Chain A
């Protein structure tokens, strides 16, 4: 396990997490969350948890993104507060 790669991935993941809760547009937040899920998949695979990485890739990046976008399409796109 290369610690520089690990550190960069963790840093980028924290940036994604902060960006996902600070951005105003909800569709942008959903896409950033999908990117967060992708980095989390790489981290799980680096930690030799391939099964968890597979679940994270399919459910985290695939299903929840579509579900969030479907939910946003039925409500308003950006928060008004």
Chain B
């Protein structure tokens, strides 16, 4: 299957559009359908498509095990950081309104929601990709 030029070309063309759509779903999640989880899964499915059409090593060159580990920790750090920042501004966890009231910037809570959604999306993308790496990896080598 790896020699089939149709599959390789279609995947090469489709993956950028899937990733742009995933970013759109993450950013658009506050006002419509979608959100961090769905966007992260769609982003991870683009890596799955690359793994199916090409090779595991081809996808690992794009995002390796170290990359997925760093991304999964980074997304949680963004989520918890925004939540704890709200506590430092004497609000509840993820109560964005207190930061907006303290700094006086309009629509700040919308940007903070997008930031939290981006953190969720990064974590979901990294964890889904690492699950697929472990499942598709044959023979115990887990570098």
Chain B residues near A51 (CB-CB < 8 A): 33-35, 38
Cα–Cα distance between A59 and B124 once the two chains are bound (Å)? 12
> Number of residues in A with C-beta < 8 Å to the partner?
14
Q: How near does chain A come to B137, taking the closest CB pair, in angstroms?
A: 10
Is the CB of B45 closer than 8 A to any CB of chain A? yes
Chain A residues near B33 (CB-CB < 8 A): 50-51, 53-54
Partner of A58, one of B41, B131, B132, B136: B41
* A67–B34 CB distance below 8 A: no
Chain B residues near A53 (CB-CB < 8 A): 33
Number of A-B contacts (CB under 8 A): 38
The binding surface of chain B is classed by DSSP as: helix
* B38–A55 CB distance below 8 A: yes
* A54–B135 CB distance below 8 A: no
Cα–Cα distance between A27 and B42 once the two chains are bound (Å)? 23
Cα–Cα distance between A71 and B52 once the two chains are bound (Å)? 14
Q: On chain B, which size bracket covers the interface?
A: 10 to 19
Chain B residues near A59 (CB-CB < 8 A): 41
Is the CB of B26 closer than 8 A to any CB of chain A? no
Which residues of B pack against A, CB within 8 Å? 25, 33-35, 37-38, 41-42, 44-45, 48, 52, 128, 131-132, 135-136, 138
Closest 7 interchain pairs by CB? A70-B135, A50-B33, A58-B41, A54-B38, A62-B45, A51-B33, A66-B48
Which residues of A pack against B, CB within 8 Å? 50-51, 53-55, 58-59, 62-63, 66-67, 70-71, 74
Supply 20 A–B pairs (Cβ within 8 Å), ascending by A. Answer: A50-B33, A51-B34, A51-B35, A51-B38, A54-B33, A54-B34, A55-B37, A55-B38, A55-B41, A58-B38, A58-B41, A62-B45, A63-B41, A63-B45, A63-B128, A66-B48, A66-B132, A70-B132, A71-B135, A74-B138
